[in-house]
Structure 1
Amino acid sequence: MKFTLTTPALIFSTISLLLLAYTNRFSILASLIRDLHDKAKEKGEKDYIIKSQLSSLKKRVRLIRNMQFLAILSLFFCVFSMFLLFFNQNLAGEIVFAIGLGLLMLSLILSAIEINISVHALNIQLSESVKEGAELDK
């Protein structure tokens, strides 16, 4: 396979879409954290569900920050790779591009971990809803 200046450019749209998705996830989490924080103030510190959700959200925000950082670094390395290729530094450009792809893979791994935490938090909420529904049926 011939590695040319356009090869790293193929990744740009992927990284841009990922960053958009990560930013949307972050915005939704920020809104949810604000809502839960207000509910925690109303109900007091003893509500287990709210405390569990806030703990989960804190982990998720940290993961999303790291996902975004790795995706941005990946984009930087792709651009730097193109810069090197432009100046006929083919081996260095290929190495830098490979590093960019590795960073993108790490970002995707963190995304999978964040989704897993999100599902766990939803399961906590659902288990509480099922308990409440069972009590109403009595």
Structure 2
Amino acid sequence: MKFTLTTPALIFSTISLLLLAYTNRFSVLANLIRNLHDRAKEQGEKGEIITSQLKNLKRRVKLIRNMQFLAILALFFCVFSMFLLFFAKKTAGEIVFAIGLTSLMLSLLLSAIEINISVNALNIQLSESIEEQAESTKN
């Protein structure tokens, strides 16, 4: 494979889109956390479900932070790799690029974990809604 200055540049758009998607997920979670926090204050002790949801969201926010950090690190290593290739340090550039790709893969792995947590939380919410609806139709 021919490794040139343009090779690391190929994944710039991918990383940029990932960062945009991660930022959107973070913004949505931040709004949800604020809303749930306000509801928990209003409900007081009755807000146990909300409190558990907030703990789940806290875990997801940490995952998103780490996803973003690893994606930024991947972008940094891609740029650094281009810098090394510019100064004819091909082997060092390849190694740094490999580190960047590894960071990107770890970011994607964390993204998959976060999505799984999100889906599980939605399934719990749906189960509760179905149970409540079944009870209301019995009455």
TM-score (structure 1 length as normaliser): 0.97
Equivalent position amino acid for 2:25 in 1: R
Residue 52 of structure 1 deviates from its aligned partner by 2.0
Partner of 1:47, secondary structure, is helix
The CA RMSD measured in Å over matched residues stands at 0.8
Residue 122 (structure 1) aligns with? 122
Q: Which runs of 4+ in 1 moved over 2 A?
A: 45-49
Q: Deviations over 1:83-133 (max 9, x none)?
A: 000000000000000000000000000000000110111111111111110
Q: Identity of aligned pairs, percent?
A: 81
Equivalents in 1 of 2:61, 2:33: separation in Å? 10
TM-score (structure 2 length as normaliser): 0.97
Equivalents in 2 of 1:22, 1:12: separation in Å? 15
Partner of 1:88, secondary structure, is coil
Partner of 2:19, secondary structure, is helix
Equivalents in 2 of 1:117, 1:62: separation in Å? 12
Residue 47 of structure 1 deviates from its aligned partner by 2.8
Gaps of 5+ in 1: none
Equivalents in 2 of 1:123, 1:48: separation in Å? 18
Residue 136 (structure 1) aligns with? 136
Size of the aligned set, in residue pairs, is: 138
Residue 81 (structure 1) aligns with? 81
Q: Deviations over 1:51-98 (max 9, x none)?
A: 221111000000000000000000000000000000000000000000
Gaps of 5+ in 2: none
Q: Is the 8 A contact 1:49 1:124 kept in 2?
A: no
